[in-house]
Amino acid sequence: MAEHGRKSVWGYVGIWGVLVVLTVATWLLGTRGHLGSWSLPVAMGIAVGKTALVAMFFMHLVEQPGARRVVFPVSALFLALLLGVSLVEAMTRVRMARPDGPKALEPARPASTRTAPPGSPTRWMGH
Amino acid sequence: MNPSMAGSLAEPDYLNHETTVRSWLLTRDHKRIGVMFLVLVIFALLLGGTFAMLLRIELLTPGPTIMGPMTYNRVFTLHGVTMVWLFMIPAIPSAFGNFVLPLMLGAKEVAFPRLNLASVYIYAAGAALTLFGMVWSGADTGWTFYTPYSTTSPTAVTPILLGVFIIGFSTIITGLNFITTTHTLRAPGMHWSRIPLFVWAIYGTSVIQVVATPVLAMVLVLVALERVAGVGIFDPTRGGDPVLFQHMFWFYSHPAVYIMVLPAMGVISEVVCAFSRKNIFGYRMIAASTFGIAFVGFFSWGHHMFVSGQSTFGSGIFGVLSMLVAIFTAIKIFNWVATMYGGAIDLKVPLLYVLGFIFLLTFGGMTGVAVATTSLDVHWHDTYFIVAHFHYIMVGSVLMAFLAALHYWWPKMFGRLFPERWAFVAACTIIFGFIVTFLPQFLLGNMGMPRRYYQYPSEMQWLNVLSTAGASLLAFGFGLIGIYLLWSLRYGKVSPASPWGSRGYEWFSASPPGPHNFREPPRFEREVHDYTVSEAPHVY
């Protein structure tokens, strides 16, 4: 470690190497991962890890005293709160009845043939 | 030094050490910036109050009285936008926070004086753009700018959105300044456990301002983008979701209630100590409850959306979380009352406003627990019950604390005393007028009178007349305050350094303070509001 708690050049190169490995991992996940619906959460998790590494080492948060170091995770927490709670709310909404009557009794159609009428509140969710 | 002598010293103070217009416009003195903010927010209060009176006059009769329905829609929008964005959010933090916070910390200045000056001009520019939009063709969306109406309304929504967006930068800068000042510029002896509760309140508010305001900025820009560029974000016909707007808007705007109320609570904590001659009961619990409110406030935004189509699961969670706020608020109220209990009560005008605050906050808070119950809220939603509730909790408490602060710190800011008898009359008029204005609105809402309608059934008229009569009392009270405060600037008695006998740290400087706040670097050896010692505080 260099003075003032900073990492040496090789320390930064090592972190850069980890970032490259994580980037390649994301690429492999997209091309050969076959994780299905888990692909996006895993890719987002890797992205969050990379962001944390950049913030901690290249933005020197890790060298800061406690109060200043808390700023980043607190900001991330509030963003996660906004996105997480909004998504949970959207996913637990009661689906609106279609204007031409309830569709629940009909046999399910393939997703590609299902379209919501313009103006349907659930259209943005892809139903 | 004897505090009674300090006011008579002929040393230059921050008001008269330089008197040119340029010295005010380019000042980096936090006290002058606080005074500039005070003038601006009082102007906004005057404007918002005028719009409120127009609304109340219109509602004197069941049919059209002085305006048509479209004008009414615009006037209630003007009232809401002006009062919320231009007055209540900046009133206490930007005006009194700027003036008092560095004095309380024993600092010469705030951490970023140039940014502090910039925040005044950014606020003024945003306010000017907002007012321009209002004058140009108004807006009829209400202060909440709900989509999809706000994205399609033909009125001047875009400049008003941009104006509020710009004001947000002023809020963020002010918040950053206060957080940094509190961390870095405390005088010797000022441990974290000695920080005055007003500073804790401003600190908690600043955290909310910094964290939440960018979300508001984001959502306002998205609405403007949808209006101008037709991007489908909230409009369901373009694949958007109008409920998403409400999530993003209330993620900021619910904590914004605490941006307004927490500084008000900080004022109350200071004033109640000064006029009870006791240190605060439960200092740590009050400081902790400030952060409890700030934290839980971020988890309860969905209680504004119980009838928006939000999921039942979401509504249930938000309802329970909203009730938690009452616990932290109750902690404060019990501690203020316990502080007064057994104290040497000196019923001066600022304490009168504190009593008004406690009554209104308790009443508004209890109705808040009621409307956090989903089944009750469905009945009351968008009725005058909600109007009355948020006026009690938000407007009432902010106004009471603003007036308490204005009277408590008036001698500190301007070195003059106001006529107490007139101030007493005005305070009684305002507290009584406020109750008479908004109590009937609870009844009107429960009877089913919807908000934002300019006509109503004739059987509701007597309650509306009562409400308008109360508003007239409020207007009279404010007029009286304006007259005697302006009078006192020229003819009021010269104030001693600590006219109330307060032991708050800000009174350890002269009144009004010198340009650098203290003649010598202060050192705070005792607890804030320590009335156990007989001698007056040393004036630094």
Residue of B nearest to A82 (CA): B251
What is the spatial distance between Cα B78 and Cα B261, in angstroms, rounded to a whole number? 22
Please enumerate in sequence order all residues whose Cβ is within 8 A of that of B154, keeping only pairs 6 or more positions apart, or say none. B137
DSSP letters, B217-254, are HHHHHHHHHHHHH---SS-GGGT--HHHHHHHHHHHHH
What is the spatial distance between Cα A89 and Cα B518, in angstroms, rounded to a whole number? 54
DSSP 3-state of B450: strand
Q: Is A92 in contact with B240 (Cβ distance < 8 A)?
A: no
**Residues B115-125, mean pLDDT to the nearest whole number:** 96
Q: Which of A67, A82, A124 sits opposite B251 (nearest CB)?
A: A82
Tell whether A64 lies on the interface with B, counting CB pairs under 8 A: no
Percentage of chain B beyond pLDDT 70 is 98
Residue of A101, A102, A94, A100 whose CA lies nearest to A121: A94
Quickly state the pLDDT bin for B89 (edges 50, 70, 90). very high
B523 falls within a domain:
no
**What's the domain range around B42?**
32-507
Count the Cβ atoms, other than its own, within 10 Å of residue A26.
19
DSSP secondary structure letter of residue A108: P
Domains held by chain B: number: 1
Residue of B145, B141, B144, B148 whose CA lies nearest to B239: B148
B27 falls within a domain:
no
pLDDT attached to residue A100? 59
pLDDT tens-digit profile of A15-64?
999 999 999 999 988 888 777 888 888 998 999 899 989 988 898 888 88
Count the Cβ atoms, other than its own, within 10 Å of residue B460.
18
Residue to substitute from A72, A82, A127, interface B, most B β-carbons within 10 A? A82
Tell whether A74 lies on the interface with B, counting CB pairs under 8 A: yes
Q: Which of B239, B240, B302 sits opposite A89 (nearest CB)?
A: B302
Interface of B with A in 193-222 (CB under 8 A): 211-212, 215
Backbone angles phi, psi at B443, to 5 degrees: -65, -40
Contact list, B302 vs chain A (CB under 8 Å): 85, 89
pLDDT tens-digit profile of B438-476?
999 999 999 999 999 999 999 999 999 999 999 999 999
For residue B486, give the CATH number of its domain.
Answer: 1.20.210.10
Distance from CA of A96 to the nearest CA of B (A): 9
Percentage of chain B beyond pLDDT 90 is 72
The residue type of B519 is: R
pLDDT tens-digit profile of A70-118?
777 888 888 888 888 888 888 888 766 555 555 555 555 554 554 544 4
pLDDT attached to residue A122? 44
B517 falls within a domain:
no
Q: Is A82 in contact with B248 (Cβ distance < 8 A)?
A: yes
Distance from CA of A118 to the nearest CA of B (A): 5
Q: Is A123 in contact with B311 (Cβ distance < 8 A)?
A: no
Q: Which of A81, A94, A120 sits opposite B311 (nearest CB)?
A: A94
What is the spatial distance between Cα B362 and Cα B424, in angstroms, rounded to a whole number? 22
**Residues B66-73, mean pLDDT to the nearest whole number:** 94
pLDDT tens-digit profile of B175-206?
999 999 999 999 998 989 899 999 999 999 99
B167 falls within a domain:
yes
pLDDT tens-digit profile of B387-431?
999 999 999 999 999 999 999 999 999 999 999 999 999 999 999
- Two structure tokens written together for B476: 């009279």
Distance from CA of A66 to the nearest CA of B (A): 12
pTM of the model: 0.87
Tell me the pLDDT of chain B averaged across its residues: 92
Tell whether B244 lies on the interface with A, counting CB pairs under 8 A: yes
Q: Is B247 in contact with A82 (Cβ distance < 8 A)?
A: yes
B329 falls within a domain:
yes
What is the spatial distance between Cα B444 and Cα B533, in angstroms, rounded to a whole number? 52
Cα distance from N-terminal residue to C-terminal residue, chain A: 54
**Residues B62-80, mean pLDDT to the nearest whole number:** 94
Q: Is B247 in contact with A92 (Cβ distance < 8 A)?
A: no
Distance from CA of A71 to the nearest CA of B (A): 10
Q: Is A120 in contact with B243 (Cβ distance < 8 A)?
A: no
Tell whether B295 lies on the interface with A, counting CB pairs under 8 A: no
What is the spatial distance between Cα B113 and Cα B180, in angstroms, rounded to a whole number? 12
Contact list, B215 vs chain A (CB under 8 Å): 82
- When mean pLDDT is compared across A14-23, A44-53, B55-64, B354-363, the lowest value belongs to A44-53
Interface confidence, given as ipTM, is: 0.73
Residue to substitute from A70, A87, A124, A127, interface B, most B β-carbons within 10 A? A124
pLDDT attached to residue B35? 97
Q: Which of B212, B237, B247 sits opposite A86 (nearest CB)?
A: B247
B15 falls within a domain:
no
- Two structure tokens written together for B460: 């509701």
Tell whether B237 lies on the interface with A, counting CB pairs under 8 A: yes
Higher pLDDT, B125 or A38: B125
| pLDDT for residue B4 is more than 80 | no
B121 falls within a domain:
yes
**Residues B340-360, mean pLDDT to the nearest whole number:** 95
DSSP secondary structure letter of residue B83: I
* 8 Å CB contact between B377 and B371: yes
Distance from CA of A125 to the nearest CA of B (A): 9
B129 falls within a domain:
yes
